[in-house]
Amino acid sequence: MKRDFLTLSDLSPDEHLLLFRRAHELKKNARQRTLEGRSLLLLFEKASTRTRISFEAAIGQLGGTAITLPTADSQIARGETLEDTARVASRYVDAIMFRTHGDERLKAFARAATVPVINGLSDGGHPVQVLADLFTVEEKLGETAGKTIVFIGDCASNMARSYCEAAPIFGFSLRLSAPEGYRPSAAELRGARVTANPTEAVQGADVVVTDVWTSMGQEAEAKARLNALSSYTVDETLVAKAAPHAIVLHCLPAHRGEEITAGVVDGPRSAIFDEAENRLHVQKALLEQLILRR
């Protein structure tokens, strides 16, 4: 039976541990041809840099082939249903990565597909990115269990919501710092602490995370968001309040001078570009797990 990866909860804690163990192996020995002759469809409704490149490179380095299709270039743009596209594509490829808007679109597509579907980003979460983030935490600081991670800024974002989902799975404490109106619903918190004060939030933290204040599709809200979040910039002064060994993560692209300063992005605490690289290694392990049913 096929397995999808739409949310972090689609894998058990033990499966996440095995995934990270395999990702470490693949990072040391990049080109293992375990997916020779397999193919992956990358279906995009939203723009992408890291997701596209990392998935194309991942399947290629494992011996397979990527087919990249923006939906604007497909028959979806002319009215073909997601379900019909999913059914047909499933007869051509071994897995599908779908980067979309609403989570209902993602679920509908996955229900119709007969091969594994991976969430490459949706309004409700960005699980492949958070996997790479937590793999980076493990790589830099040891196991994620027992660590304190702080998310600063727009905590109603898909990234912050995936962090809320991840905390009980991976056993870390999560603090969120955001103004009213930029926080997850109470049901989504899953034990995360929320404060309006970013200085209070970062005290002694092991990891400081932020993301853009205006995500794709929110451009009309940009001015209001900038005003509401202007005191939540991750700068050198704020990072200094975290633990001496703390690292800083950002999924990129970064708006330097808004949610994070250039000095932090390029500074000694930054693990941002290692985090970006780790998308490749974690997604290789994920593709193996789903396609080979490991």
Instruction: Tell me the per-residue pLDDT of 80-102, one tens digit each, with 9 for 90 and over.
Output: 999 999 999 999 999 999 999 99
**Close Cβ partners of 81 (under 8 Å, ≥ 6 residues apart):** none
Give 169-232 as a DSSP string: HHT-EEEEE--TTSS--HHHHTT-EEES-HHHHHTT-SEEEE--SS-TT-GGGHHHHHHHHTT-
Would you state the structure tokens that stand for residue 195, as one six-digit string? 């404060």
Q: To the nearest whole number, what is the mean pLDDT of the chain?
A: 96
- Per-residue pLDDT of 219-251, as tens digits, reads 788 899 999 999 999 999 999 999 999 999 999
Indicate the residue type of 89.
A
Q: Which one-letter DSSP state was computed for residue 144?
A: S
* Domains of the chain, CATH where assigned: 8-126+279-291 (3.40.50.1370), 127-275 (3.40.50.1370)
- Give yes or no: 250 in active site: no
Catalytic residue among 16, 38, 50, 126: 126
Element (H, E) at 148: strand 148-152
Active site residue 129: yes
High-pLDDT (> 70) share of the chain, % = 100
Among 251, 281, 283, 289, the active-site one is 251
pLDDT (0 to 100) of residue 253: 96
pTM of the model: 0.96
